Structure formats: C-alpha cells, structure tokens
Amino acid sequence: MTRHFDEAPGLCTQPDPETQQYIFGHTMMRIKDPARSLDFYTRVLGMTLIRRFDFPGMKFTLFFLGMVSDKEAKKVPQERGKRATYVFNQRAMLELTHNWGTEDDDNCKYHNGNEEPKGFGHLGFTVPDVYAACERLEKLGIEFVKKVDAGKMQGIAFAKDPDGYWIEILQADMAEKRGKDWGLQQ
C-alpha cells in the first residue's frame, strides 16, 4: 500500500519515519517595498501579519503572513517569543523578505520566475467564487497576467503582486467542473 493518491515516477512509497512530524512551513519571496507588498497581501488578499523579525545588524526584515480567521486569531500568542514558535509550527505561511534600502533603489527588481530563465511560478489563493474575486481585484486596480476567462484554461486567473510575482486565483472545484475543457485527464 502506498501513501500517495496518484502515481508518478520517483515517488517514495514508504516514508522515512523521521519525516512524519515535518511541516511544510513557509515560502520566502524578496520584496522591494514592504508598504506596497504588505498592503497587497493584507488588504487585497486578506492575509494577516503574524510576526515581524527585524535584523538591524544585517539590514533586513522578515514578515510572516498567513490566512487567519477571526476564530484562529484568538489562538495566536501575544508574547513575541511564543508567537515566533507559533509561526514556525504553521503550514503554508508566506515569508516576505525586505532588504533595507531596496525601496529607494530604482535598479532593484526581483525575478518573478516566469520570465527566462523560468523557475518559481506562482502563489495560489483559493477563493469561494473566482469570478467575484477577479471582479473585486479588477476594481482595486490589480494588474492581471491572465484574466479569468482568457486562454484555454478558463476559470483560473493570474494577477501580479507589487514585485511582479504571479498570484493564481482559483476556485477549489474548478478542475472538477472544467477539467475536460482544459484537456485534463480525469
């Protein structure tokens, strides 16, 4: 018996017991201007800043954001040390790294991973209604790479954050609803 739900070459079917308590905790992206990026991720996408770490000697700041409901927010420790432990015990946090001074450097631009050479692709945000969410983003003046019904994969959109990173906007059941239209094997 395997622990995987699909098949693909290279899968380890028997995990090392040592890894059973590992957590995929966060993804880090560099940002040029924290004010612009924090506005985007908190106001536009609804994330919560859970913990900020300043490193004056090395001149950078880390911002850890997550999707936290009002109910979950009551469980977040107020004491900064305990909140740090809380952050590193969470799943799927976003770490934004700001190297001080980049906000004033006209030459500073981060590679979004979708230009050549390609690498990192995007962050994905699941929304209850992809059409309503994209209409809201459009009203907020957010730039789109792909609008929700453009191209072959209709029902999925890609927007840009202030640094040009792609943000996928999707509805959880869209692959189930439109997968055949996309040429997806079910």
Distance CA 140, CA 150 (A): 19
Active site residue 143: no
The 10s digit of each residue's pLDDT in 25-68 is: 999 999 999 999 999 999 999 999 999 999 999 999 999 999 99
The 10s digit of each residue's pLDDT in 123-171 is: 999 999 999 999 999 999 999 999 999 998 899 999 999 999 999 999 9
The 10s digit of each residue's pLDDT in 86-103 is: 999 999 999 999 999 999
DSSP per-residue string spanning 32-45: S-HHHHHHIIIIIS
> In percent, how much of the chain has pLDDT > 70?
99
| Whole-structure pTM value | 0.91
- pLDDT value at residue 1: 57
- pLDDT value at residue 15: 85
Read off the tokens for 51. Answer: 């913990």
Q: How many helices (DSSP H) and strands (DSSP E) are in the chain?
A: 5, 8
On the question of pLDDT at 182 being above 90, the answer is no
Asked if 155 and 174 count as a contact pair (C-beta separation under 8 A), the reply is yes
Domains of the chain: 24-105 (3.10.180.10), 122-181 (3.10.180.10)
- pLDDT, greater one: 16 or 184: 16
Q: 110: which strand partners?
A: none
What is the CB-side half-sphere exposure of residue 172 using CA atoms within 13 A?
3
- pLDDT value at residue 137: 98
Of the residues 18, 72, 168, 176, only one is catalytic, namely 168
- pLDDT value at residue 152: 86
- pLDDT value at residue 186: 61
